Structure 1
Amino acid sequence: AGWLEGPNWWRHASSLILLSVHTRTDGYCFTMIEEDDSGMPVVTSGCLGLEGSDFQCRDTPIPHQRRSIECCTERNECNKDLHPTLPPLKTRDFVDGPIHHKALLISVTVCSLLLVLLILFCYFRYKRQETRPRYSLGLQQADIPPGESLRDLIEQSQSSGSGSGLPLLVQRTIAKQIQMVKQIGKGRYGEVWMGKWRGEKVAVKVFFTTEEASWFRETEIYQTVLMRHENILGFIAADIKGTGSWTQLYLITDYHENGSLYDYLKSTTLDAKSMLKLAYSSVSGLCHLHTEIFSTQGKPAIAHRDLKSKNILVKKNGTCCIADLGLAVKFISDTNEVDIPPNTRVGTKRYMPPEVLDESLNRNHFQSYIMADMYSFGLILWEVARRCISGGIVEEYQLPYHDLVPSDPSYEDMRELVCIKKLRPSFPNRWSSDECLRQMGKLMTECWAHSPASRLTALRVKKTLAKMSESQDIKL
């Protein structure tokens, strides 16, 4: 039937080469085309023995190999008229396969990563819940006898307790018995209300649920042992109120009708005595924060991290107390560790020192935070001194850098001003002819020095203000 045996015709790149000729009288003739390793078509013609030739002519496809075979038995040299063609390129095999595997690999990786993140989130949330005070939403309350005032309760807890505030059950009872009277303020953390407990006015800070970290941190700091001080806002209670569908985070403190130092300075002018009183009491509170107390029940050193005139309150007697401790950091001297709150909030850009703006602050060194506070305090002294009358002249209240940056400056605005240009608020000419204001100007300049190491400490400022008051015959 056939006349060629073995691979004797070779077609490569459309050329046909005769290799050898051997005749057969039985079996099948074939012509086969297949793709070589380089992708070029190769044509082979020949004869197959009778045994098994039918099976070979059916040519079972081999995966990922392009090949086609045609056979004939009609006449001699019949395979000269056979012209098999390569099967079409199976794009799916050569392209989709690897893409499919790649997509599968990416999907598995992403899912695994998400699972790990979810496990970590649940773990840290559990640990945080485990370490915080148990401010339960339960209905259990303490029995507070009629006639007991807040002052009585706090004095009792100070003399008989741990020095860290009222018992949690008493705090919860007070929180549940408070009547909200009117809203007196609003900020990025939530709202401030004036409320009443048994006729006594209190301030109630209601945090947004997104600010839970700030609420927890401020509550924790206020309840630090030996934290209570006349120039730190008096803490009364903290509680979580709500049901399954809504939650309110309450922080209850003393109420001061004069409001913040910012509000007070906008509406009030000062003489030398009232200026020194505001400055001295403010730095006394800051000094207490910054100071570590060593005793059986000691107090860690604390840095505020968000000092500004809006976070200092003015009491009835014209003295100040420091508030808003949601960003505060503690120094644990036993382990030489800086306890930084897990909080997404940042300080106020206008009051940020150069080392915070240019990100050179050493976050593992507690003294860095102390010196950052002193820069901010220097700006507060400037705000206070501008409102002190001398020679019948006084400037209207303004925020620091009011004439140099927009009302809501960006990091870049402040960085360029404070770090690159190294500018600071300017002094009115009249300060040079008033000894008290001249010394105040010198004091604030030494607080906002560019180098943190060159700034005065809170204790040094406190002593200087005390000496200034003494020289002016002013009793603080």
Structure 2
Amino acid sequence: MLPKKMDICCVILPLLLIVSCGFDITAGLRCYCSDCPSNECDAGEGGRCVTAITKMGGTREDKIRYRCLKEEKIYIRVQEGKMQGGTPHCMVSAQKEDVNNIICCSGPDLCNQHLRPTYAPATVRPGDENSEAKLQFGTAELVIFIACPVLIVSILFMVLFFAYHQCQRNRHGYQLPNDASQETMPFVQQGQSSSTLREMMYEYSGSGSGLPLLVQRTIARQIQVRETIGKGRYGEVYRGRWRGENVAVKIFPSREERSWFREAEIYQTVMLRHENILGFIAADNKDNGTWTQLWLITDYHENGSLFDYLNRTVVSISGMLKLSLSASCGLAHLHMEIIGTEVHAGKPAIAHRDLKSKNILVKNNGTCCIADLGLAVRHDIATDSVDIAPNNRVGTKRYMAPEVLDESINMTHFESFKRADVYAFGLVLWEITRRCSLGGIVEEYQLPYYDMVQSDPSLEEMRKVVCEEKHRPAIPNRWHSHESLRVMARLMKECWYHNAAARLTTLRIKKTLASIANQEDMKI
């Protein structure tokens, strides 16, 4: 009996010792527990320790929980054809991986205490795809609905704008010809050093409308500007050099683009080219990024204007007639209308509107050419209308005809502008004739009405003298002692009649001056 009692004691005593020491014979995996009083829990044999993280809505902090997972929760499941161990508590739905995550571990004790689960990247949930697509589609529709009309209107406006300007250029003949590149490319590329301006004018200007625009631009970019030779209200004139030849460069500021364009446009009128009208070479613009210059390039005449020439030069009777006749030829060609044919376009009648001695240049051969066509107007024979420049410029007050000063001129009747030119030309004849030497006697140069108005007269002053008092420049007595000067005096008086309809035509002036010149030649 004793051995049996001793065996029982051997079994019971160790058990009592274990119990007294606080150990559980059935204890398994110990886990860290955030919800347990002692911060530990028993997962049992085959259990798991769990750490779970959850994104809390409305706050920036995540909630982390630690707990145990018993063995009975574990099972074997089939996934993608493979046998895998797992538990629903240790796995997160793919739809919630961006807001929940769980990590399980099976040892050692408290293995989950330092685990830190992270979220999976956010993915579009199957249920949200349609709604997101609908939102994007709705936004795209809104953008298209707003942007399309604006884009269409903008494109339409740009098309109309460029069409209008192209129509204007085509109407007045100031555009790059379609075949310009074919016609001028040899000149542009090869840079024929033997070509002179005179040769090119002869080659290209059969129509009398100037050089092709591409050639104009090529010439303009090769010009070296030298000293200033004149200054006016709307631009400065410089002497320039092109391939060893002198040219005149009239530079307009960008604010005077209309005046620049108008003058270039008039100069390129078909069949305008004439030996007594300033030779037009090119028009171009120069832009350096901060400012723009508008260039008008013409023939250069070193004698300058008739005003400058008469100030420093005394002329003979033949010289007087040469200046007067050549100027009248230029004005007559300007006023003349040339009827076109089916093959060749005609030339419209043109009125100058700012004729004066400063706008007439003197060539080296003693003849004149008319310049500064920025205020000129053309007669449209098809509609019997006047093409008036779209700017606010007015002529020189000292040379304005009575009907212009008192504003009684008929602006819709083209003949009115031609008659105003004749009045101004009569004053120019008076300036020329005063500088004619006869028997060693000659008057000093003066402007018309120099003894009646101040140097820069106002419209009121000129209106009072010309329209109300009907004064005209005085005729010196010595002119009556010579036949040619007497005819000149009568001619200029017939040019400045107060009644515009009674004035001579430019063709009659030209013929009368030619007759006087022939008589003088016969005397020689």
Shift of 1:243: 3.5
1:15 alignment counterpart: none
Q: How does 1:284-363 map to 2 (within 5 A)?
A: 284-296=329-341, 297-363=345-411
Alignment correspondent of 2:199: 152
Which residue of the other structure, out of 403, 410, 413, is the alignment partner of 1:365?
413
Cα distance change, pair 473–204 in 1 and its aligned pair in 2 (3 A): same
The residue that corresponds to 1:386 in the other structure is 434
The alignment-based identity, stated in percent, is 63
Tell me, yes or no, if structure 1 residue 204 matches structure 2 residue 241.
no
Cα-to-partner distance string for 1:365-408 (whole Å, 9 max, x where unaligned): 00000000000000000000000011211000000000000000
**2:266 is aligned with what amino acid?**
I
After superposition, the C-alpha distances for 1:396-454 in whole angstroms (9 at most, x for unaligned) are 00000000000000000000000000000001111111211111000000000000101
- Where structure 2 has 5 or more consecutive residues not aligned to the other structure, the ranges are 1-156, 177-184
Output the amino acid matched with 2:188. A
Q: Is the 8 A contact 1:303 1:329 kept in 2?
A: yes
Q: Which amino acid aligns with 2:195?
A: E
The question of whether the paired residues in 1 share the 8 Å contact of 2:348 and 2:380 is answered with yes
Deviation for aligned residue 1:304:
0.2
Q: Is the 8 A contact 2:330 2:369 kept in 1?
A: yes
Q: What is the CA distance between 1:146 and its match in structure 2? A: 2.2
| Structure showing greater relative contact order (alpha-carbon pairs closer than 8 Å, 6 or more residues apart) | 1
Among residues 216, 223, 229, which one is paired with 1:184 in the alignment? 229
* 1:142 correspondence with 2:188: yes
Tell me the CA shift for residue 214 of structure 1. 1.3
Which residue of structure 2 aligns with residue 246 of structure 1? 291
CA distance in 2, matches of 1:472, 1:196: 39
TM-superposition CA deviations, 1:51-70 (whole Å, max 9, x none): xxxxxxxxxxxxxxxxxxxx
* 1:405 aligns with one of 443, 453, 464: 453
User: What is residue 425 of structure 1 aligned with on the other side?
Assistant: 473
Q: Provide the rounded CA distance (Å) in 1 between the counterparts of 2:209 and 2:275.
A: 15
Q: CA deviation at 1:129?
A: 6.5
CA contact (8 A) 1:181 1:194 kept: yes
Q: Does the residue aligned with 1:422 lie in a helix, a strand or coil?
A: coil
Q: Determine whether 1:261 maps to 2:261.
A: no
Q: TM (normalized to structure 1)?
A: 0.71
Aligned residues: 351
Say what the alpha-carbon RMSD is for the aligned residues: 2.2
Paired residues for 1:272-283 under 5 Å? 272-283=317-328
Report the 3-state secondary structure (helix = DSSP H, G, I; strand = E; otherwise coil) of the residue aligned with 1:385: helix
- The one-letter code of the counterpart of 1:326 is G
Quote how far apart the aligned CAs of 1:343 are: 1.1
Tell me how far 1:475 sits from its aligned partner: 10
Deviation at residue 245 of structure 1 after TM alignment: 2.2
Whether 1:131 and 2:168 are equivalent positions in the alignment is: yes
State how far apart, in whole Å, the 2-side matches of 1:362 and 1:128 are.
29
Alignment partners' CA distance in 2, 1:294 and 1:127: 28
Query: Larger Cα Rg: Structure 1 or Structure 2?
Result: 2
The amino acid that maps onto 1:249 is L
Structure 2 Cα separation of the partners of residues 475 and 459 of structure 1:
25
Cα deviation per residue 1:263-298 (whole Å; 9 max; x = unaligned)? 000000011100000000000000000000012310
Q: Tell me the alpha carbon deviations over residues 299-352 of structure 1, each in whole angstroms, 9 at most, x when there is no partner.
A: 000000000000000000000000000000000101211111101111000000
The correspondence for 1:235, drawn from 250, 268, 280, is 280
Amino acid at match of 1:353: A
Q: Give structure 1 stretches of 5+ with no counterpart.
A: 1-119
Could you tell me whether the CA contact under 8 Å between 2:306 and 2:357 is conserved in 1?
A: yes
